Amino acid sequence: MHLYETHIPVSDTKAAEEFYREVVGLPFAYRDPTRDIVFMWADAKEKAMLGLWGPNTEYGKQEGAPQKHHLAFAFPLDELFAAITNLNEKGIEVLGFSGEKTDEPTVIGWAPAAMIYFRDPDGHMLEFITILPDTPNASFNGRYSEWKKMTNPRHN
């Protein structure tokens, strides 16, 4: 079993489509011609989908404070590091697990997983995550470089 789709409210579907296509790297799937909704493929075509719902649609922003959502996308480790450079080149702030600006992934040891975070134009928190092949260590939360020193002391 895997998650097939999720939907988030956005203030501008054209801007959101561009962001998710150009920054996140999701392929365009479909724009509903009768409603202000755009669908993006997440992973392989027809494997997973993200719906971007414009204002005044069923899941879109309504009057009042907008809700913020969190989405995580799985990446190979080398692409996770490349994403940091790519996001910085686009002027997008890369954050660690605790919300601090970072130049490398954060590792949560219980999984263990390496991740980075950043926000989309509507303030939704996006995460790029890599599940690591290392032995879990629930007491560790920190920078990837610290994790590698701890898990591979001979290579440092």
Question: Where residue 1 falls among pLDDT bands split at 50, 70, 90?
Answer: low
pLDDT single digits (tens) 10-59 = 999 999 999 999 999 999 999 998 999 999 999 777 789 999 999 888 77
The matching CATH number, chosen from 2.130.10.10, 2.40.50.140, 3.40.50.300, 3.10.180.10, for 68-156 is: 3.10.180.10
pLDDT at 153: 64
CATH code that applies to domain 1-61 = 3.10.180.10
Residue 73 has pLDDT above 80, yes or no: yes
pLDDT at 156: 46
**Domain pair 1-61 / 68-156, same fold:** yes
For residue 64, pLDDT beyond 80: no
Residue spans of the domains in the chain: they are 1-61, 68-156
Contact (CB, 8 A) for 34 and 14: no
List, in sequence order, every residue forming a beta bridge with 107; answer none if it has no partner.
Answer: 114, 142
pTM: 0.87
